Amino acid sequence: MSLILDNKRLIFVGGKGGVGKTTSSAAIALHLSERSQGQKILLFSTDPAHSISDSFNIRIGDTPTQIINTLDGIEVNVEQLTDQFKGRHREAIQELLTRAANLDKKDTEHALELAIPGIDEFMSLMKISSFIENNIYKTIVVDTAPTGHTLKLLSTPSGVNSWLIFFSGLQIRYKNLMRTFMGADTNSIDDFMNSLSEGIYKVHTLITDPEKTEFIMVTIPDLMAVEETKRLYISLYSAGIRINNMIVNNIQANTDCPFCQSRRNYQNRYINIIDATYPQTNKIYIPLFPNDINGIAQLRTFKDILFS
């Protein structure tokens, strides 16, 4: 079998930690870049422990870095994106909290320093969305953090939307106060709320659009990985995201070596479970490599199996 991607604009690669997500996403991005007919591909890391630099043996920063002519990589600094967002909208948020929530300056400053639930993940998705809108890249391949962070990333529009509802209530109260007692306009607050609402809508529409977005699950045939894969699959399905492709990594060769045979027999139990649990999902089985996979030459070997 081979990965089937059908010209997607956005490809998420996710799964449990240590199953080969970064290698898989790097190989997929490399394959797409070599078949892109001159159009550029972006490999985008949302994992706080960035490792796509290690996969390609080059330094990749928080702005797009060229890997080869048709492939760029970026390891985003989410804290920096969040600080920029807060800085951009600081005055509007302060105005809302001071007047509508009746907080003093000290409390307002403290509130601004608090972590907003889901805002880090939202910033990553907004950055991805901006790249797609700018139409610089034909496809963006996203190397996600381990399962828990991935679920948080993909559920973040609803989380941030709860935060938005709270601020909407303050906005209504603020507008009534300003118009009743001061006759002032509320354009800056309205602009802030509108931009946030539009951002949430765009991100949610993008990640749940099966024509544009693909989610590839990566797993290995052992108990913990298979169980975590099941939880991720159910969560994604509940969010309206269908899994069409699954990479099953680190398959032990079935040789005369007694240890190898024992290991493969153990794995076969979980390979059978994967086959039975996801009969409609296209599965690609990747052999266990004798070495770390890094550098373009080794990634090409990996991607040749993915797309054989």
> Rounded to whole angstroms, how far apart are CA atoms 43 and 140?
6
At residue 151 the predicted structure's pLDDT band, cuts being 50, 70 and 90, is low
Q: Report the pLDDT value the prediction gives residue 235, as an integer from 0 to 100.
A: 82
Q: Would the pLDDT of 146 be above 90?
A: no
Task: Report helix, strand or coil for 13.
Answer: strand
Catalytic (active site) residue 47: yes
The tokens for 83 are: 């600080």
Name residue 128's amino acid: I
What's the pLDDT tens digit per position in 220-245?
999 999 999 998 888 888 877 888 99
CB under 8 A, 24+ apart: contacts of 128-133? 128/10, 128/44, 128/206, 129/199, 129/202, 129/203, 129/206, 131/42, 131/44, 132/9, 132/10, 132/206
- Tell me the CA distances in angstroms from 110 to 113, 115, 209, one per residue in order: 5, 10, 38
Confidence of residue 167 (pLDDT cuts 50, 70, 90): low
- Which segment, 157-161, 242-246, 267-271, is predicted with the most confidence on average? 267-271
Distance CA 270, CA 267 (A): 5
Residue 1 burial (C-beta neighbours within 10 Å; 0-12, 13-18, 19+): exposed
Of residues 196 and 79, more confidence is placed in: 79
Q: What is the C-alpha end-to-end distance of the chain, expressed in Å?
A: 7
Q: Flag whether pLDDT at 71 surpasses 70.
A: yes
CATH topology of domain 10-78+121-156+212-306: Rossmann fold (3.40.50)
Residue 281: name the closest of 246, 308, 307, 251 by CA.
Answer: 246
CA dihedral 9, 27, 216, 204 (to 10 degrees): -30
Residue 180 has pLDDT above 50, yes or no: no
- In this predicted structure, what is the pLDDT of residue 263? 94
Of the candidates 213, 26, 237, 231, which has an alpha carbon nearest to the alpha carbon of residue 146?
231
Contact status, residue 189 vs residue 197, Cβ threshold 8 Å: no
Computed over every residue of the chain, the mean pLDDT equals 80
pLDDT(9) > 70: yes
Token pair for residue 52? 């796509």
What are the residues whose beta carbons fall under 8 Å from the beta carbon of 262, sequence distance 6 or more? Answer: none
Please state the rounded mean pLDDT for residues 173-195. 54
Q: What is the pLDDT at residue 181?
A: 43
Write out the two tokens for 220. Answer: 């290995």
Query: pLDDT-based confidence at 31, cuts 50/70/90?
Result: very high
Give counts: helices (H), strands (E), the chain. Answer: 11, 8
Mean pLDDT on 179-199: 59
Please state the domain extents for the chain: 10-78+121-156+212-306
Question: Residue 193 pLDDT more than 80?
Answer: no
Which residues fall within 8 angstroms of residue 122, CB to CB, at 6 or more apart?
156, 157, 159, 160, 199, 200, 203
51-62 pLDDT, tens digit each? 899 999 999 988
Q: Pick the catalytic residue: 6, 47, 54, 143?
A: 47
- Sign of the dihedral through C-alpha 100, 103, 109, 112: negative
User: Which three-class secondary structure state does DSSP give residue 2?
Assistant: coil
What is the signed CA dihedral for 100, 104, 108, 110, rounded to 10 degrees?
A: -150
Task: Give residue 293's pLDDT.
Answer: 92
What is the per-residue pLDDT across 87-106, written as a single tens digit (0 to 9) for each?
A: 776 666 666 666 545 555 66
Q: List the beta strands (DSSP E) in the chain.
A: 10-15, 40-45, 65-68, 71-75, 137-143, 213-219, 243-251, 282-287
Give yes or no for a contact between 112 and 90, defined as CB atoms under 8 angstroms apart.
yes
